[in-house]
Amino acid sequence: MAGPGSELPSGPVAPMLLSWLTGLGAGMVLLSFMQKLLYPYFWDDFWYLLKVVCCGFRMEMYRLKGELVTVLDKFLMHAKKQPQKPFIIYEGDIYTYQDVDKRSSRVAHVFLNHSTLKRGDTVALLMSNEPDFIHVWFGLAKLGCVVAFLNSNIRSVSLLHCIRSCEPRALVVGADLLGTIEEILPSLPGDISVWAMKESVPQGIISLKEKLSTASDSQVPHSHHVASNLKAPYLYIFTSGTTGLPKAAVICQLQAMKGSAGLWAFGCTSNDIIYLTLPLYHSAGSLLGIGGCIELGATCVLKKKFSASQFWNDCKKYNVTVFQYIGELCRYLCKQPKREGEKDHRVRLAVGNGIRSDVWREFLHRFGNIKMCELYGATEGNICFMNHTGKIGSVGRANFLHKLFFTFDLIKYDFQKDEPIRNEHGWCSHVKKGEPGLLISPVNAKNPFFGYAGNRKHTEKKLLCDVFKKGDVYFNTGDLMVQDQENFLYFWDRIGDTFRWKGENIATTEVADIIGMLDFIQDTNVYGVAVPDYEGKAGMASITLKPNTSLDLEKVYEQVVTFLPAYACPQFLRIQEKMETTGTFKLQKFRLVEEGFSPLKISDPLYFMDKLKKSYIPLTKEIYDQIILGKIKL
């Protein structure tokens, strides 16, 4: 998912650059006329980067003074200064800064008195968007625990995998997700205590809700959570990376602080009311959204789920001024029937990622002059872009100023082999302007990569070594980007073993493993195919059958809906005689992706997931046409 805010310089270089930039600014006034002619985006770039530098400067001061002001510390400051200010509004109820402070202290006291949790222990949190998500998160943060946010859509084997990979001492689950945990309770490692936000709980689970009602709401001593180190782990957020099952990316204090500066960098203030419908278990919701509100001391209108039909009513009702989006969300809003007074609201700004230029234009035309701020970044990545100039479709712009702080390269990529192109000496090379290339960024002390919890192998897989010279190390974003002549950057595609659908990253191997569990399946190759008018790619599973077996479509359907979250179930099946592999023995995907899902072009049998019939049905030309025309919704 799109990630935490800006990358900021650290180390003594920041103050120096600040004075350098100020000097440069003064000089530039004289050259302003020339500049308008030659560098039309100079001031946009300049003011934006000045903000970035200021923020880096502030952090540098904290560091020099030896006192770290973390996101939690900021929150506590607001709770003291503006206790009565609404922090979260949820289903019409207002939770002030003080309310959230007190209830999170209760959570902390429950764990202090009824568990052996210590500072530095990991606690997994499985909860939908609701105020208690924030109470539990902050409560545990007050004890110095590392909270691992679990995706509330995943179940069974995938969920177990995620829980095991971050080795928690405890697991906290929301009332509505208790069933999900009950399913896996017998398989959970025995040393994990399970706590539920519910009064009556089955055996083997502790009622956190009941204990909260009698817990003290007094302040938790600062010494429990004082952060000594910017690089101390603060959260685990699961991402699909480019390969395999979800991995817990380590979010340290520094990244959380950077993420929380995102809304501020786009010009939000404490008077803003931020509408948040994105899941809190992703970094966009938690770090950028909640963290961003805390940085500003603003109010957040939190929704359990996004609803296109309620969206503008809510915006009007709560005087919303800013919302966070993913591309799909804007498209759903554009698809809503037109109504009177659609421009009659106070929304002035939207921050998010993945909106397509045609939707962007339509959105502005229909809903009025909302400043759309596109942002690119990976949760675990060490790079980020923001569209600080407002070019439609672009995620940002890289010029010589930008390059001082955000170093990145676009390298040539072999789509067929699914790997970077290396020349005869083994080195990678840059793409030309206008050509898609793989986005990588150097990993070094100034630009660290914190890796994933547990498995070192995963961390190493995200890194590319010996790229331009012996011994260099780069973070592989897995994203292909194009840079145009004016240095605007555009997202092109995602490589490797993931694709995006409905705002979620889908790991193809995870889907393939689930389908591969069926006894008549020989091999499964999962990939995404482009469907007109949809963001991301729709899932297709290409399978081969074991000899002398027959395909049971209902079983495949049952298997995927039981074990996979709805967004990860493949929309299409393709039955192949034989799996093709690439020269390096990876499954061939490129050609299959290119071939898409048209029954006119593909002679292999194709099937389509039919939720009414609870099975896969043959993908006929009629069904295909209806999908293309948007009459069948995916």
Ligand X SMILES: *[C@@H]1O[C@H](CO)[C@@H](O)[C@H](O)[C@H]1NC(C)=O
The residues binding ligand X (CB under 6 A) are 266, 318-319, 371-374, 387-388, 390, 392, 547-548
Task: Report in angstroms how near the CB of residue 56 gets to ligand X at its nearest.
Answer: 18
Task: Report in angstroms how near the CB of residue 279 gets to ligand X at its nearest.
Answer: 24
Q: Name which of 35 and 115 has its Cβ closer to ligand X.
A: 35
Task: Report in angstroms how near the CB of residue 370 gets to ligand X at its nearest.
Answer: 8
118-122 long-range CB contacts below 8 Å, 24 or more apart?
119/143, 119/144, 119/145, 119/224, 119/225, 120/144, 120/145, 120/146, 121/145, 121/146, 121/168, 121/169, 121/170, 122/146, 122/147, 122/148, 122/166, 122/167, 122/168, 122/169, 122/236, 122/453
The edge-to-edge listing of strands for the beta sheet with 384-386 is 93-96, 86-90, 299-302, 273-276, 322-326, 349-353, 371-377, 384-386
Distance CA 24, CA 478 (A): 36
Q: Name which of 213 and 319 has its Cβ closer to ligand X.
A: 319
Task: Report in angstroms how near the CB of residue 353 gets to ligand X at its nearest.
Answer: 12
Six-digit token pair at 56?
């880096």
Residue with tokens 């179930």: 569
Six-digit token pair at 142?
């007050």
CB atoms within 10 A of CB 423: 9
CB atoms within 10 A of CB 339: 9
Q: Name which of 318 and 332 has its Cβ closer to ligand X.
A: 318
DSSP 359-377: HHHHHHHHH--PEEEEEEE
Q: Which residue is nearest to ligand X (CB)?
A: 390
Task: Report in angstroms how near the CB of residue 4 gets to ligand X at its nearest.
Answer: 17
Name 148's bridge partners: 124, 236
Task: Report in angstroms how near the CB of residue 273 gets to ligand X at its nearest.
Answer: 8
Q: What is the largest CA-CA distance in the chain?
A: 81
Task: Report in angstroms how near the CB of residue 594 gets to ligand X at its nearest.
Answer: 32
Integer-rounded Cα radius of gyration of the chain: 25
Task: Report in angstroms how near the CB of residue 358 gets to ligand X at its nearest.
Answer: 13
Q: Name which of 109 and 388 has its Cβ closer to ligand X.
A: 388
DSSP 230-252: TTSEEEEEEE--SSSS-EEEEEE
Task: Report in angstroms how near the CB of residue 406 gets to ligand X at its nearest.
Answer: 16
Q: Name which of 107 and 268 has its Cβ closer to ligand X.
A: 268
> Which residues, 6+ apart, have CB-to-CB distance to 34 below 8 Å?
none
Q: Name which of 266 and 608 has its Cβ closer to ligand X.
A: 266
Q: Name which of 161 and 361 has its Cβ closer to ligand X.
A: 361
Of how many residues is the chain composed?
Answer: 634
Task: Report in angstroms how near the CB of residue 408 gets to ligand X at its nearest.
Answer: 19
Task: Report the amino acid identity of residue 166.
Answer: C
> Which residues, 6+ apart, have CB-to-CB distance to 239 below 8 Å?
1, 246, 247, 249, 378, 379, 380, 505
Q: Name which of 310 and 416 has its Cβ closer to ligand X.
A: 310
Q: 263 near 182, Cβ under 8 Å?
A: no
Distance CA 393, CA 354 (A): 9
Nearest to 301 by CA among 332, 327, 330, 322: 322
Q: Name which of 51 and 109 has its Cβ closer to ligand X.
A: 51
Q: Name which of 99 and 374 has its Cβ closer to ligand X.
A: 374
Q: Name which of 217 and 314 has its Cβ closer to ligand X.
A: 314
Q: Name which of 205 and 372 has its Cβ closer to ligand X.
A: 372
How, if at all, do strands 521-529 and 538-545 pair? antiparallel
Task: Report in angstroms how near the CB of residue 319 gets to ligand X at its nearest.
Answer: 4
Task: Report in angstroms how near the CB of residue 419 gets to ligand X at its nearest.
Answer: 34
- Taking each continuous run of H as one helix and of E as one strand, the counts in the chain are 22, 30
